[in-house]
C-alpha cells in the first residue's frame, strides 16, 4: 500500500524523489524523506498530500548520500505530517520507514515503552522507539537492536532503518510486504517495487519473508532473524522501462486501456504453439485432477474470476466456486475432496488473497497464482504461476490486467478441457477468438470520442448510476460499476438486470443513468424488457449490445466474439466511460482518493 525507497552511496535526494514519484500509485496521502550527508548533517522533511508538496518543502541544502523515503496510505492515524514517515526515535538517532501493519504494536508499546512520549499515532513509531530503547539500554549496535525488535514483532512489514551514529548503513527487513534490493555500482538501492528504480539499476535481489539485511554502498549482508547468513542471488530484471512511462498520454489509465489489444495478441502468441494451446503440463495436470476449482481474488480480479468461472466450467466440466479472498480466508467453506485453488491477483501482493493461500499451503493443497508480477509474493508461495504478460499497470484502476485475467483463464480452461479429452475444448478456437478480441478492442478504443460524449451527456452531474446485465454481462456490470465509482466518485451499482425490480428500482428517477449490457443469447430479450422498465421510470439508458442483438439507437455495438469471452470487449467502453467521467470532472484519474494500487493490508 505504501511505497518505500532507500539509497546508500550516491546523491540521494533526486533518486529518492524520482523513486517516490514512481511509487506514488501505491499510496499518496502523505510523504517524507530523510537524508544524511555523512558529514554530520541529517534532514527530515514530511508533507501531507502528493510528492510535489514534499518537493516544495525541501530546501536546496537538504542533500545526502544516504536516504530513505516513503509515500503513505494511512492505516494507523490520519494523513498528517506527524503520522507521515519516516518515523523517528525521540532522541533523533533512528529513522524508519515502513510498509505494512504491525499487529501487536499496542502490546509492545504497553510492555516496553510506557515511559516514552510518542509524537504520532502510527504503529511504525513503536518500532523505531523500541529499536532505540534496546540499542541504548542493552548497549546493542543498531543491527542487533533491530533484529531483537523484529523477533518480537507480529505483522507485515518492509522496513528501512537508518542509525545516525552509523549513517552509512541502511538496515532492512521484510515480512509479507514487498521489497526489492537493487544492486548498483558503488551504491545500493531498496524499493517496494523494482519498476520505481529501473533508471538506477536492472540488477535486483529478491528478498524473502524473514530476511534482514545490513546494506552499505558496496556490501550487502543478508541474514535470517536468528542471525544465520542467507544467500539470495541477484538477477537481471527484463522489464521495458518505457512500459512504466506515460509517453504522450495524459493519464496511465487511458494508455493502459489502449494497450489491451496488444496484450491479447501477446497472450495469443506466448500461450500458443501454432494453434495449440501451450500451458505448463504440471499446471494442466493438477487442475485436471481436481474435482472442484476455487478462484480467490479481490475487487476487479474477483470480477475477472466470475467470468473465469463460466469459462472454466464450460470448457473443463469441473465445477468452479469464486470467492472474495477477504471472506474466504476467515470462513473457509467445506472443501471438495480434490480442490484446486486459483489466485487471481494483478499485483501478486494482495494481503487478503495471501491469507487464503497461507491456509491452502498449510493444508498442502495445490494452487496456481495468475498474476502480472513475476516473483511477487503470491507467485512465489503458490505451487504454480501463470503470468498475465500485460506489462506494468500503473493507474490505480485496473484495466488491462482484468482483460488479461479473463484471457489467461480461458487459456487454462482450454488446456485443461483438452487434457480431459473434451470435444468442446478441442473445438474452442481460442487463438482465433483472442485475435477477434484484439480487433474488437481496437475498434472500441478507436471510437473513444463517442464514449467521451456519453460521459459528458449522462455522467457530468449525476450522483448515482447503475450497470445492469445478465449472465457474464452481470459480471461485467459489477466491474463497470466498480470502475466508474472508483475513478469518478459517482455512486454506481452493478446489478443482475432482473433484480432491479425486486427493490432497487425504487432508486431510479428522472435522469438516473443506467448502462445496460446485452451479450447473453439466453436473455437478450429479457434485458430489453428490463431496460423498458427503467426507461419508463425516467432513466437515461446507455446500451452496449453485441452486434447480433443490437437495435437502432443502441449507443455502442460490440464487435462479434464468442459469448463467454464477450467481457473482453464489453468492458472496454465501460472502462472508457469511467475514464472520461473522471477526466471531465477534472479529477486525478490515475490516483483516485483513498485508494492504493497494491493492497498489502487486510
- What residue is closest to ligand F6R based on CB? 299
What are the grid coordinates assigned to 123, written together?
A: 504503529
Part in contact with ligand F6R (CB under 6 A); list of ranges 1-9, 77-85, 297-305, 360-368: 297-305
Contact indicator for 5, 172 with CB cutoff of 8 Å: no
339-345/292-297 β-pairing: parallel
DSSP string for residues in 471-532: THHHHHHHHHHHHHHHHH--EEEEEEGGGGGGTGGGG--TT-EEEEEE--TTTHHHHHHHHH
Q: Which of 98/597 has CB closer to ligand F6R?
A: 597
Of the candidate residues 128, 173, 351, 397, the single one contacting ligand F6R (CB under 6 A): 397
Contact indicator for 320, 308 with CB cutoff of 8 Å: yes
203-206/180-183 β-pairing: antiparallel
Q: What are phi and psi of 496, to 5 degrees?
A: -65, 125
Burial class (CB in 10 A: 0-12, 13-18, 19+), 522: exposed
Catalytic residue among 2, 133, 414, 431: 2
Per CB under 6 A, contacts with ligand F6R among 477-496 are 482, 486
Residues 224-243 as x/- pattern, contact with ligand F6R by CB under 6 A: --------------------
Q: Which of 299/323 has CB closer to ligand F6R?
A: 299
Three-state secondary structure readout of 232-272: CCEEECCCCHHHHCCCCCCCHHHHHHHCHHHHHHHHHHHCE
CA distances from 450 to 191, 542, 595 (A): 41, 12, 28
Distance CA 425, CA 279 (A): 14
Distance CA 566, CA 215 (A): 50
By CB under 6 A, the count of residues binding ligand F6R is: 15
Residues 499-538 as x/- pattern, contact with ligand F6R by CB under 6 A: ----------------------------------------
CB of 458 to ligand F6R, least distance (A): 21
Q: Does 298 bind ligand F6R (CB under 6 A)?
A: yes
Q: Does 177 bind ligand F6R (CB under 6 A)?
A: no
How many other C-beta atoms can be found within 10 angstroms of the C-beta atom of residue 38? 12
Helix (H, G, I), strand (E, B) or coil at 354: helix
Distance CA 528, CA 549 (A): 10
Per CB under 6 A, contacts with ligand F6R among 583-602 are 598-599
What are the grid coordinates assigned to 91, written together?
A: 532522541
Q: Which of 306/534 has CB closer to ligand F6R?
A: 306
Per CB under 6 A, contacts with ligand F6R among 324-353 are 345-347, 350, 353
Helix (H, G, I), strand (E, B) or coil at 355: helix
CB of 337 to ligand F6R, least distance (A): 28
Q: Which of 74/170 has CB closer to ligand F6R?
A: 74
CB of 600 to ligand F6R, least distance (A): 9
How many other C-beta atoms can be found within 10 angstroms of the C-beta atom of residue 110? 10
Nearest to 220 by CA among 186, 176, 175: 186
What are the grid coordinates assigned to 81, written together?
A: 505530517
Q: Does 398 bind ligand F6R (CB under 6 A)?
A: yes
Catalytic residue among 109, 133, 309, 597: 597
Q: Does 8 bind ligand F6R (CB under 6 A)?
A: no
CB of 396 to ligand F6R, least distance (A): 7
Q: Does 89 bind ligand F6R (CB under 6 A)?
A: no
CB of 397 to ligand F6R, least distance (A): 4
Residues 137-176 as x/- pattern, contact with ligand F6R by CB under 6 A: ----------------------------------------
Q: Which of 34/474 has CB closer to ligand F6R?
A: 474
Q: Does 299 bind ligand F6R (CB under 6 A)?
A: yes
Q: Which of 16/577 has CB closer to ligand F6R?
A: 577
Part in contact with ligand F6R (CB under 6 A); list of ranges 54-62, 86-94, 295-303, 491-499: 295-303
Burial class (CB in 10 A: 0-12, 13-18, 19+), 389: middle
Q: Residue 2 catalytic?
A: yes
Q: Which of 37/256 has CB closer to ligand F6R?
A: 256
CB of 343 to ligand F6R, least distance (A): 8
Of the candidate residues 177, 300, 326, 540, the single one contacting ligand F6R (CB under 6 A): 300
Q: Does 561 bind ligand F6R (CB under 6 A)?
A: no
CB of 540 to ligand F6R, least distance (A): 25
Q: Which of 135/482 has CB closer to ligand F6R?
A: 482
Q: Which of 348/366 has CB closer to ligand F6R?
A: 348
Distance CA 162, CA 600 (A): 24
Distance CA 357, CA 101 (A): 19
Give the gyration radius of the chain's Cα atoms: 25
Distance CA 182, CA 271 (A): 31
Q: What are the beta bridge partners of residue 320?
A: 293
Q: Does 301 bind ligand F6R (CB under 6 A)?
A: yes
- Which residues lie closer than 8 Å to 407 by C-beta, 6 or more apart? 263, 264, 267, 434, 437, 565, 568
CB of 459 to ligand F6R, least distance (A): 18
Q: Which of 302/428 has CB closer to ligand F6R?
A: 302
Part in contact with ligand F6R (CB under 6 A); list of ranges 190-198, 294-302, 383-391, 497-505: 294-302
Three-state secondary structure readout of 477-491: HHHHHHHHHHHHCCE
What are the grid coordinates assigned to 120, written together?
A: 504520532
CB of 352 to ligand F6R, least distance (A): 8
CB of 349 to ligand F6R, least distance (A): 6
> Residue for cell digits 503470491?
378
CB of 431 to ligand F6R, least distance (A): 26
Catalytic residues: 2, 597
Interface residues with ligand F6R (CB under 6 A)? 298-301, 345-347, 350, 353, 397-398, 482, 486, 598-599
Amino acid at each position: 500500500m505504501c511505497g518505500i525507497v532507500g539509497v546508500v552511496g550516491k546523491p540521494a535526494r533526486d533518486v529518492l524523489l524520482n523513486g517516490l514519484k514512481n511509487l506514488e500509485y501505491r499510496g499518496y496521502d502523505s510523504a517524507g524523506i530523510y537524508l544524511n550527508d555523512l558529514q554530520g548533517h541529517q534532514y527530515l522533511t514530511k508533507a501531507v498530500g502528493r510528492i510535489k508538496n514534499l518537493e516544495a518543502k525541501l530546501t536546496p541544502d537538504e542533500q545526502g548520500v544516504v536516504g530513505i523515503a516513503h509515500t503513505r496510505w494511512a492505516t494507523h492515524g490520519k494523513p498528517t505530517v506527524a503520522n507521515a514517515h519516516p518515523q523517528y526515535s525521540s532522541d533523533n538517532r533512528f529513522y524508519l520507514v515502513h510498509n505494512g501493519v504491525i499487529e501487536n504494536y499496542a502490546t509492545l508499546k504497553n510492555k516496553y515503552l510506557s515511559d516514552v512520549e510518542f509524537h504520532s499515532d502510527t504503529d511504525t513509531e513503536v518500532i523505531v522507539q523500541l529499536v532505540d530503547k534496546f540499542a541504548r539500554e542493552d548497549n546493542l549496535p543498531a543491527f542487533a537492536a533491530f533484529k531483537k525488535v523484529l523477533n518480537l514483532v507480529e505483522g507485515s512489514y518492509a522496513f528501512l532503518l537508518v542509525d545516525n551514529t552509523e549513517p552509512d548503513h541502511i538496515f532492512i527487513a521484510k515480512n509479507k510486504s514487498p521489497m526489492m534490493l537493487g544492486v548498483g555500482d558503488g551504491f545500493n538501492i531498496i524499493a517496494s517495487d523494482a519498476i520505481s528504480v529501473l533508471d538506477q539499476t536492472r540488477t535486483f535481489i529478491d528478498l524473502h519473508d524473514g530476511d534482514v539485511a545490513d546494506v552499505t554502498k558496496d556490501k550487502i549482508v543478508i541474514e535470517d532473524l536468528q542471525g544465520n547468513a542467507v544467500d539470495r542471488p541477484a538477477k537481471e530484471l527484463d522489464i521495458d522501462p518505457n512500459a512504466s512511462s506515460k509517453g504522450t498520454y495524459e493519464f496511465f489509465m487511458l494508455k493502459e486501456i489502449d494497450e489491451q489489444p496488444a496484450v491479447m495478441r501477446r497472450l495469443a502468441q506466448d500461450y500458443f504453439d501454432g494453434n495449440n494451446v501451450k500451458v505448463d503440463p504440471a499446471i494442466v495436470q493438477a487442475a485436471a485432477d481436481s474435482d472442484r476449482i476455487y478462484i480467490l481474488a479481490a475487487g476487479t480480479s474477483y470480477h475477472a474470476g466470475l467470468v473465469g468461472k463460466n469459462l472454466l466450467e464450460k470448457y473443463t466440466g469441473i465445477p468452479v466456486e469464486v470467492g472474495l479472498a477477504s471472506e474466504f480466508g476467515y470462513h473457509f467453506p467445506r472443501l471438495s475432496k480434490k480442490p484446486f485453488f486459483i489466485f487471481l491477483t494483478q499485483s501478486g501482493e494482495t494481503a487478503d488473497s495471501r491469507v487464503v493461500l497461507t491456509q491452502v499451503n498449510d493444508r498442502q493443497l495445490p494452487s496456481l497464482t495468475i498474476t502480472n508480477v513475476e516473483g511477487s509474493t503470491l507467485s512465489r508461495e503458490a505451487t504454480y504461476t501463470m503470468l498475465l504478460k500485460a506489462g506494468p499497470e500503473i493507474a490505480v484502476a485496473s484495466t488491462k490486467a482484468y482483460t488479461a485475467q479473463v484471457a489467461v483463464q480461458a487459456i487454462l480452461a482450454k488446456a485443461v478441457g483438452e487434457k480431459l479429452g473434451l470435444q468442446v475444448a478441442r473445438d474452442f478456437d481460442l487463438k482465433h477468438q483472442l485475435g477477434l478480441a484484439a480487433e474488437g478492442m481496437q475498434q472500441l478504443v478507436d471510437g473513444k470520442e463517442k464514449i467521451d460524449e456519453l460521459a459528458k451527456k449522462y455522467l457530468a452531474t449525476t450522483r448515482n448510476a447503475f450497470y445492469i446485465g445478465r449472465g457474464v454481462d452481470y459480471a461485467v456490470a459489477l466491474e463497470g460499476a466498480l470502475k466508474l465509482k472508483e475513478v469518478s466518485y459517482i455512486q454506481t451499482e452493478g446489478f443482475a438486470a432482473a433484480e432491479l425490480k425486486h427493490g432497487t428500482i425504487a432508486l431510479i428517477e428522472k435522469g438516473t443513468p443506467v448502462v445496460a449490457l446485452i451479450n447473453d443469447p439466453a436473455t437478450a430479450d429479457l434485458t430489453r424488457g428490463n431496460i423498458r422498465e427503467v426507461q419508463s421510470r425516467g432513466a437515461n439508458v446507455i446500451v452496449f449490445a453485441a452486434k447480433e442483438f443490437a437495435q437502432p439507437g443502441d449507443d455502442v455495438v460490440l464487435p462479434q466474439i464468442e459469448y463467454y469471452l464477450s467481457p473482453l470487449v464489453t468492458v472496454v467502453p465501460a472502462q472508457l466511460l469511467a475514464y472520461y467521467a473522471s477526466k471531465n470532472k477534472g479529477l486525478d484519474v490515475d490516483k483516485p482518493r483513498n485508494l492504493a494500487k497494491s493492497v498489502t493490508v487486510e
